Structure 1
């Protein structure tokens, strides 16, 4: 290989590395804000996923997907519902769904049915607690067709930022 060709290859690889690094940082910058809701379908068939708030509280309760306390929140936050029909391999994100710094009792359904073994219920807090990071909630259908909820942290505190 001549030195000119070697330099061309090295220059191309350097450019690719810069582009790959830039892509990683832009993905991080696109984190949804705290309080966002996401639906994900990694299965090979379409599904309908719904989420409903069954209660709000000051803290998580003793039971799965329960909360304790009676915080003051707008009525709309006590009765939140959202749903979507989602194609295979697709996802949908909705920002600022959960707007209050409380615990939400949440129940998911898939195709009109509750997932088995209470995998569709959780208690979720979107606002930052001990750190600056907030949380997002996702309802996810895996390649196996199994459902689970997923809580992810985000550096974007959204409306919870100071």
Structure 2
């Protein structure tokens, strides 16, 4: 009797540490984008992110590029723990938040689809410069067009 009780307790302990499997289906979330609302639809098949579709009015050269890049990266890596796209921070944060919400609707827990994605093959970039202009305000733009700093 003691062996059966211990086996049952062990099974409950193991089951308690496992995350729930995500349910296959289509999940949707609408968030506020940079220019207008973004509606995100995530398809889950076989417990994995199969596709992500968005309806948005983001700018063609910035927001839409960021959306495509992030969608592809989330699907490829099966993770939402990826870097945002610089220059499209609002769109990036909102899109990733909507995808996370869709995954939560599917039954994903906090640690699911959260593996940190890094580019291990990316070599560090080292640059040398006499002058570095940071910023695009009045001083930065004046410095950038100044003949003193022209190459």
- Does the alignment reach a TM-score above 0.5? no
Greater Rg, structure 1 or structure 2? 2
The structure with the greater share of residues assigned to strand is: 1
The structure with the greater share of residues assigned to helix is: 2
